[in-house]
Amino acid sequence: MAHPLPRSVTIHPAARLQGRIRVPGDKSISHRALMLSAIAIGESRIEGLLEGEDVLATAAAMRAMGATISRGDDAIWRVHGVGVGGLLQPATALDMGNSGTSTRLLMGLVASHPITVTFTGDASLSGRPMNRVIAPLGLMGADITASPGGRLPLMVRGLCPAIPITYTLPVASAQVKSAVLLAGLNAPGITRVVEPVATRDHSERMLAGFGAQLTVEQSETGRVISIEGEANLKPQSITVPGDPSSAAFWMVAATIVPGSDVVIENVGLNATRAGLVTALRLMGADIEEQDARTVGGEPVADLRVRHATLRGIDVPHDLAPSMIDEYPALFVAASFAQGRTIARGADELRVKESDRIAVMLAALTANGVSCEEHEDGLTITGTGGEPIAGGATIASNLDHRIAMSMVVAGLHAQKAITIDDASPIATSFPNFFDLLQTLGGDATWG
């Protein structure tokens, strides 16, 4: 799945941002909804699915392995599943585009089915190591042949029946946890994952919702998630809440641009994903939760965010797992705070779509922000609320979150900021620039 041709975009300073917007459906939940619907027996309905390139890659992969998936004129997706153990041999390699989540979770699904699947991806995804998933799936009996460095293209030869294991996560990773649990669905007996540091729990919530026999217990070594194999999943009607990772950009934008008052509707506030809200509030952000409710088993609220003066903080390390994707946006917020913000504990940023520590360091420094690099994060000295210098052209490195973060930075800069290639934004947030315009932002395409 190739990216569209590169399109540069120049972001002009905004007078203020104002209005009500709704962000796309949560990407993590959208992936899992498609996958579990595809291995349930019967028709599931999914409302609010994120229709970005990453999630469409998951839909295409599940179709290639036998599921019937369609989108109605009512924007509801209908999935007829094949049942656990029913995945079919795909005719060709699965092109996962830029989606690391799709790749790692589908490796888990395939690992316990008697099929052989080759995974490919774009240049960015092909540079991301898969060893942390390969290791536990190998213990379960899957035969995985990867390119040098544990990278794509790679081939998974599943084993059926697979071997149930107890696996302690060496690093906090919801993707690795989910891959092992998905493999355990078609393995006889009990498969267990022990996570010393809790990560996002969408897989556990959704597996239980589909009828899997799953338990979560606390032990001296951490959370123990156990799943009983050879499951029969029942079809579901799923409503996907708004993606907190997408809402993050507008939370930061409304906070840093003077005079702003923005309401972001239907934002998922699962505690394992809400770390950025906590961090921004510690910095002094004005974020009000309105109409708190539960949607599809997930906590949701509308967020009213108004401009506020931020202060630098030492970001608590224990927030990292619940905001790992939001660090680029946090780095932008820190650029406008009073004093220094130390944001560390995020080694995982080095192996995302890009090395997000190095790339954000280069982007912010080029636009006049004072930064110090650490192996696991950045220390940033902010402007105290004044505009940053701006004026530079930055490289997005095929990373959607880098591109969107620097769009936000450009909204409060002395000179316009240009992003060399904004096309990767379509992977997760197809209407990002439409919402920017709705709120009063201004972008010029190159």
Binding residue numbers for phosphoenolpyruvate: 27, 100, 128, 175, 356, 401
Distance CA 69, CA 92 (A): 18
Q: How many other CB atoms are there within 10 angstroms of residue 379's CB atom?
A: 17
C-alpha neighbours within 13 Å on the C-beta side of residue 209: 21
Enumerate the known binding-site residues for 3-phosphoshikimate: 27-28, 32, 173, 175, 325, 352
Catalytic residue positions, numbered? 325
- Residues making up the annotated binding site are 27-28, 32, 100, 128, 173, 175, 325, 352, 356, 401
CA gap 439, 253 in Å, rounded: 10
Q: Nearest Cα to 325, choosing from 56, 46, 54, 13?
A: 54
Half-sphere exposure at residue 442, Cβ-oriented, CA atoms within 13 angstroms: 9
Cis peptide before 316 (omega within 30 of 0): no
